Amino acid sequence: MTWLTLLLSFLQIGFFSIGGGYATIPLIQEQVVDKYHWLSMQEFTDIITISQMTPGPLAVNTSTFTGIRILGLFGAVLTTFGCVISGFVICLCLYRFFSKYRNAGPVFTVLKGLRAASIGLIAASAGTILTMALAGTTVLGSVTLPVNGIAAALFAVSLFLLRKFRWNPILVMAVSGVAGAVIYSLPV
């Protein structure tokens, strides 16, 4: 693995990550887990979790943590640059395009199609994270998945606290983390 391969992978991710942070997750997974095997699926899921808890955009945080894991500080700079510069260049091009064609109807039709694709990418990443968290795998080949009951219960309680009682998400993460640490450290 070379630094150039890492940079080119994250340039590609940055250029094709239309739809924001959650839409970027499947693209990053394809490059770092499936194609180059730089990370295991469990490591990648852990990075996504950490990225959601730290301030900043999800795509940038995920890129940075992935780069640190692969090539250390130099990798973090490369992956973050690759992810961010792509968006910057796209924004400049889109600004020029929309300044010139701001009243064109076909432009808005294309944007509606991109919005639909983004929803699909977000749903795919949500499914991947959920099956990884609850079943420990992303392979859905079998009819019944070996669901981790403790993880499913923590998920259900967290969702209930967020939706019904409108708890602060940071508080829910802290309580879930403490509960998981206590439950999983008990002798079996």
Q: Where are the beta strands (DSSP E) in the chain?
A: none
Give the up-direction half-sphere exposure of residue 108: CA atoms within 13 A in the CB hemisphere.
4
Q: Which range of residues forms the domain containing residue 154?
A: 148-188
Give the up-direction half-sphere exposure of residue 70: CA atoms within 13 A in the CB hemisphere.
32
Q: Are residues 12 and 42 in the same domain?
A: yes
Q: Are residues 92 and 128 in the same domain?
A: yes
Confidence bin at 87 (pLDDT 50/70/90) = confident
Residue showing tokens 């796209």: 90
Render pLDDT for 166-186 as a digit per residue (tens, 0 to 9).
Answer: 999 999 989 998 998 899 888
Residue 135: what pLDDT?
77
Render pLDDT for 51-63 as a digit per residue (tens, 0 to 9).
Answer: 888 888 888 888 8
Confidence bin at 161 (pLDDT 50/70/90) = very high
| Rounded mean pLDDT, 132-138 | 74
Confidence bin at 139 (pLDDT 50/70/90) = low
Q: Are residues 172 and 89 in the same domain?
A: no
Residue 144: what pLDDT?
60
CA–CA dist 183, 179 (Å, integer): 6
Residue 53: what pLDDT?
82
Q: Are residues 61 and 87 in the same domain?
A: yes
DSSP, res 19: T
CA–CA dist 122, 127 (Å, integer): 9
Residue 79: what pLDDT?
92
Q: Are residues 7 and 72 in the same domain?
A: yes
Residue 123: what pLDDT?
86
Amino acid letter for position 15: F
Question: Mean pLDDT, the chain, as a whole number?
Answer: 85
Q: Are residues 137 and 185 in the same domain?
A: no
Q: Are residues 53 and 70 in the same domain?
A: yes
Backbone phi and psi for residue 156, each to the nearest 5 degrees, phi listed first: -65, -45
Render pLDDT for 13-69 as a digit per residue (tens, 0 to 9).
Answer: 888 877 677 778 888 889 989 999 998 988 888 888 888 888 888 888 888 988 999
- Number of domains, the chain: 2
Tokens of 65: 């943590």
H or E element in which residue 79 lies? helix 58-101
Pairwise pLDDT comparison (129 vs 165), residue with the higher score: 165
Q: Are residues 72 and 91 in the same domain?
A: yes
Q: Are residues 138 and 152 in the same domain?
A: no
Q: Are residues 128 and 152 in the same domain?
A: no
Q: Are residues 152 and 134 in the same domain?
A: no
| Rounded mean pLDDT, 110-132 | 81
Q: Are residues 99 and 188 in the same domain?
A: no
